[in-house]
A = this chain, B = another copy of it.
Amino acid sequence: MQSKVGEYPFTVEPFHCDFSNHLFLSSLSNDLLNASDYHSESRGYGISYLNARHRTWVLSRLAVEMNDMPVAYDKIAISTWVEAAFRFFTSRNYAITSQDHQTVYGYGRSIWAMIDTDTRQPVDILQIQGGLIKDYIETDRDCPIAKPGRVAISKDATLAKTVTMNYHDIDVNGHVNSVKYIEHVLDLFGLDWYRSHRVKRFDIAYVAESHAGDELCFFMEKAAAKEENDEEEYLVRIVRKGAEDGEVVRCSIKFVKI
| Chain A residues within 8 Å of B, Cβ to Cβ | 13-15, 17-21, 24, 26, 30, 33-34, 37, 72, 166-168, 170-172, 174, 177, 179, 183, 186-187, 189-191, 194, 212-213
Contacts of A187 in B (CB 8 A): 166-168
Contacts of A177 in B (CB 8 A): 15
Q: Is the CB of A19 within 8 A of B213?
A: no
- Given the known inter-chain contacts A14-B37, A15-B30, A30-B13, please indicate yes or no for A190 contacting B167, CB distance below 8 A: yes
- Given the known inter-chain contacts A13-B30, A37-B14, please indicate yes or no for A19 contacting B191, CB distance below 8 A: no
Q: Is the CB of A15 within 8 A of B179?
A: yes
**Cα of A205 to Cα of B168 in the assembled complex, Å:** 21
- Nearest-neighbour CB distance to chain B for A214, whole angstroms, equals 11
Contact partner of A15 (CB less than 8 A), chosen from B13, B18, B171, B190, is B171
Contact partner of A194 (CB less than 8 A), chosen from B20, B34, B72, B167, is B167
Contacts of A30 in B (CB 8 A): 13, 15
